[in-house]
Structure formats: C-alpha cells, structure tokens
C-alpha cells in the first residue's frame, strides 16, 4: 500500500489514470454531507464484503475524515490481496474542504 496526503491526492486526481476509484470509507451520513467529486462510499465496517468489486481498478485512492479509517480499510484490503491501494494517511475530507478543493453534495 502506498500513502499520500490530501494535496497529493488532489494533484493525482487532476490527471487521473484510467480505471481509478476514489473510495470514501466514512459513514453514509458523513458521505451525504459532502465528498470528493466522483467518490464511492463503502464504509470501513463493510469494506471487506466489497473487496472483489475493487480488484478491477488500476488504482484505489482511500480516504476518510482524518486518516485512521482509511489506513484500517487499506490494511484489511491488503490482507485480501489487493495491491492497487493508495491511502490518504495524513488528513482527510475536512482538510480537502479547508484547502478549497471541489466538493460534491
């Protein structure tokens, strides 16, 4: 698993590679309040049930509110053999908002 910051995620999403997924592992309530544009919500507590759905993606960027749940989800998915994971481990969605990056609601 690789790690990145919110500014690095934003930069990566400016020229996304084909078959990229932005995975939000926050709760559905948090997700409904705002998210990174195009993100898919699979809460950390159910992410293991969806690991096969994530295999086809070339890169899966994982984020949450502060970084802990993203790291946990990344570790669980790595155990399932996924190698295409990039985890935001320093910051999360509030940092995305504070930086003035686009938000979907």
List pLDDT tens digits, range 45-85: 999 999 999 999 999 999 999 999 999 999 999 999 999 99
- What is the mean predicted confidence (pLDDT) over 33-56? 96
Residue 6 has pLDDT above 90, yes or no: yes
Per-residue model confidence (pLDDT) at position 18: 84
Residue 75 to residue 32: CA distance in whole angstroms: 25
Cα distance between the two ends of the chain = 29
The domains of the chain are located at 2-98
Name the pLDDT band for 105 (thresholds 50, 70, 90): very high
Is the pLDDT assigned to residue 28 strictly greater than 80? yes
Match domain 2-98 to its CATH number in 3.40.50.10490, 3.50.50.60, 3.40.30.10, 3.40.250.10: 3.40.250.10
- In this predicted model, which residue has the larger pLDDT, 102 or 89? 102
Quickly state the pLDDT bin for 13 (edges 50, 70, 90): very high
> What is the average pLDDT value for the chain, to the nearest integer?
95
Instruction: Identify the pLDDT of residue 51.
Output: 93
Q: What are phi and psi for residue 42, nearest 5 degrees? A: -135, 100
């Amino acid at each position: 698993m690789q790690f990145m910051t919110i500014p690095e995620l934003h930069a990566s999403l400016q020229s996304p590679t084909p078959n990229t997924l932005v995975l939000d592992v926050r709760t559905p309530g948090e997700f409904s309040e705002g998210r990174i544009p195009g993100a898919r919500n699979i809460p950390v507590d159910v992410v293991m049930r969806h690991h096969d759905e994530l295999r086809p993606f070339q890169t899966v960027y994982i984020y949450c509110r502060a970084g802990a749940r993203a790291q946990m989800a990344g570790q669980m998915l790595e155990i399932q053999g996924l190698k295409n994971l990039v985890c935001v481990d320093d910051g999360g969605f509030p940092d995305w908002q504070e930086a003035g990056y686009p938000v979907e609601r």
